[in-house]
Amino acid sequence: MVVGVHRPTQLVIDRQALRENIHAAVSRLADGCALFMVVKANGYGHGAVQVAQAAKDAGATGFCVAILDEALELRAAGFNEPILVLGVSDPADAPLMATQRISATVAAQDWLVEANEYLTLAHAAQPLRVHLGLDTGMGRIGFKTPAALQSAVAYLNDNDTLDFEGIFTHFSTADSADDRYFKQQVTTWKTLTGALDQLPRYVHVSNSATSLWHAECNANMVRFGVAGYGLNPSGTAVKLPYTLHPAMSLTSELVHVKKVAAGESVGYGATYTASQAEWVGTVPIGYADGYERRLQGFHVLVDGQPCEIIGRVCMDQLMVRLPAEYQRGTQVTLVGRDGDETISLQDVADYCGTIHYEIACGFTSRLPRCYRH
């Protein structure tokens, strides 16, 4: 998708906010505990390479991504730090991952066997770095029994093409005030890892939520994700132990302003009809940019004032009711602060009935990312 640089609509990313959030997390870690910044999904929509640099500046010593291509993007950008692919990769890519020093998540022994065959055929000069994923209750990927885990570790130890670098799990309710299921997962984790004679270099269970509210579980590595972007992992369910600084704003401008008469309708389906004469502004952003169609009735900020989105959000444009006539080119804030008013990603998510992760990741590449500080 083309980047819309000739349109006054952009995501503004505050690198200083990123650095402050990540540095605060690093400063809370015990000695010997590493922080790997999670930059998957284009850095949760913020820009993977730029976030990785900010994280490195703030003390992160490695990165986590979801797919191999995201890891290769970081390598191409010049990052030499450890990179862990959290999803399951194709075993055929094992030689490439080994050559690029990219660590693979492994969830089953048959994957190891197949990957080992590819590594052997390729005469890989370096072993593939492996992190074994354990399914302690997330129900997504990973080893579930001590016997299966022991067998995989034995296979790793018997093959020089494979390097047992890490072991981890993922907690599904670390961001919940109710910690009963979390404690069940901790117990399962201890049972599984307790079946091993020796643990690898990296032992990690903490995502953002775990590091914030269950720091005693941090082991020797933290996968720091959404909190690094200044967002509360729980939404509003659990209070943060310290202040986070949202790094993303979304701004545009009024490109057309007109007065409509009482009885005139606005937008597809004529779902909004003016009850009196009013000023209407058009903003060049729509659902093709990831600004959800269901945001009709929500608001933006113009001149520090909330202005309702009237009519359906179009693919490329939306309309707002203005309190007065404004000049074309007046700034519109869709996410961020304007005067005394703020619209957060959480506010947008609440209106859409979803989570702020989805909103941030949903902004498309047509929106340019502009970096400040």
Please give the structure tokens belonging to residue 270. Answer: 């004529």
Q: Is 138 annotated in some ligand binding site?
A: no
Tell me the pairing of strands 265-266 and 299-302: unpaired
Q: Catalytic residue among 56, 118, 268, 291, which?
A: 268
CA distance 373 to 142: 40
203: Cα separation from own chain's centroid: 22
Give me the phi and psi of 190, to 5 degrees please. Answer: -65, -35
Count the alpha carbons within 13 Å of 89 in the hemisphere toward its beta carbon. 30
CA distance 16 to 11: 15
CA distance 39 to 150: 31
- Does the annotation mark 268 as catalytic? yes
Q: Which helix (H) or strand (E) holds 49?
A: helix 48-58
Give me the phi and psi of 362, to 5 degrees please. Answer: -85, -15
Bridge partners of 237? none
CA distance 143 to 109: 9
Closest Cα to residue 161, out of 108, 120, 121?
120
Q: Is 140 annotated in some ligand binding site?
A: yes
Q: Catalytic residue among 40, 229, 272, 291, which?
A: 40
Which parts are annotated binding residues for substrate? 140, 315
Q: Which residues are annotated as a binding site?
A: 140, 315
Catalytic annotation, residues: 40, 268
